[in-house]
Amino acid sequence: MKKIVLSLGGSVLVPSLESNNISRYVSVLKKVAENCRIFIVVGGGGEARRYIRVARDLGAGEAAADELGIMVTRLNARLLIAGLGDAAYPRVAENYTEAQEFAQAKKIVVMGGITPAQTTDAVSAVLAESVGADLLINATSVNGIYSADPKKDAGAVKHERLTPQELLDIITGARMNAGANIVLDIVAGKVIERSGIPLLVLDGRDPENLYRAIVEGVYSGTVVSRESSNPLLS
């Protein structure tokens, strides 16, 4: 069975606690898990940013703000586990070894953040490397990687395909603060480059996009890979 690491942006899964999309994701994830082994890394979303903002206002440094962000990603991971019920391993993996241990139960493994000064993008890339994933999917609130922020720049052009080196060139220089909104963080870029694991960035606001990509090989997004073939069909 194919192994897939799925990075579920908090902005997609839990934009805010009340506006969460967990139940919509649960039904899709259960169907996807019939076709492949999945590992999910959950982001912090709006609630993480609220905590980070308040902590900064209280004078907390960036690392302390990051620690709060990590706690919120783990809370969101817990919520997803609650929704997945028996389909998921009941605990949030807190490091990569645990994720591998939990995977032996042949259930969906869920984790959040790990350590300050990075985002869950980095966690998903390192997890993909640790478990020897065939594919890394980043489900986010844009439908791919653009030449500029498409929410701010009307002239931004979507990249259909990038090599890992081209991806690194795009993200190098982006500013990394707690709660920052960047395409992918630099640690993720470097790990994707060294591991050669193909990455698909797609619009996760509709969970069905995920089903179509994984099960049917049909997607609209950006593929980052060394080879030009479709990583979903190989």
Q: Which residues bind ligand UTP (CB under 6 A)?
A: 9-11, 43-45, 48, 66, 69-70, 73, 113-116, 118-120, 123, 140, 178-181
Kindly tell me which of 114 and 197 has the beta carbon lying closer to ligand UTP.
114
Nearest residue relative to ligand UTP (C-beta): 43
Minimum distance from residue 234 beta carbon to ligand UTP (Å): 27
Q: How far apart are CA 108 and CA 116, in angstroms?
A: 25
User: Does the CA dihedral 74-75-81-83 come out positive or negative?
Assistant: negative
Q: Which two tokens stand for residue 89?
A: 């391993």
Phi, psi torsion values for 136, nearest 5 degrees: -115, 130
Nearer to ligand UTP, 69 or 231 (CB): 69
Minimum CB distance to ligand UTP, residue 113 (Å): 3
Strand, coil or helix: what is 170?
A: helix
Nearer to ligand UTP, 51 or 219 (CB): 51
Contacts of 92 (CB under 8 A, 6+ apart): 74, 77, 78, 81, 110, 111, 112
Among candidate residues 6, 66, 18, 68, the one with its CA nearest the CA of residue 42: 6
Q: How far is the CB of 204 from ligand UTP (least distance, A)?
A: 9
Q: Which residues line the annotated binding site for ATP?
A: 10-11, 45, 49, 140, 146, 149
Q: Minimum CB separation from ligand UTP for residue 27, in Å?
A: 21
CB burial of residue 17 (10 Å; 0-12, 13-18, 19+): middle
Kindly tell me which of 36 and 60 has the beta carbon lying closer to ligand UTP: 60
**Vertex 12 angle, CA 6 and 14, to 5°:** 105
Query: What residues have CB less than 8 Å from 57, skipping those under 6 apart?
Result: none
Annotated binding site for UMP: 44, 66, 114-120
Residue 51 vs 89, nearer CB to ligand UTP? 51
List residues forming the annotated binding site. Answer: 10-11, 44-45, 49, 66, 114-120, 140, 146, 149
Query: Within 10 A of 46 (CB to CB), how many other CB atoms are there?
Result: 17
Task: Compute the least distance from the CB of residue 227 to ligand UTP, in Å.
Answer: 26
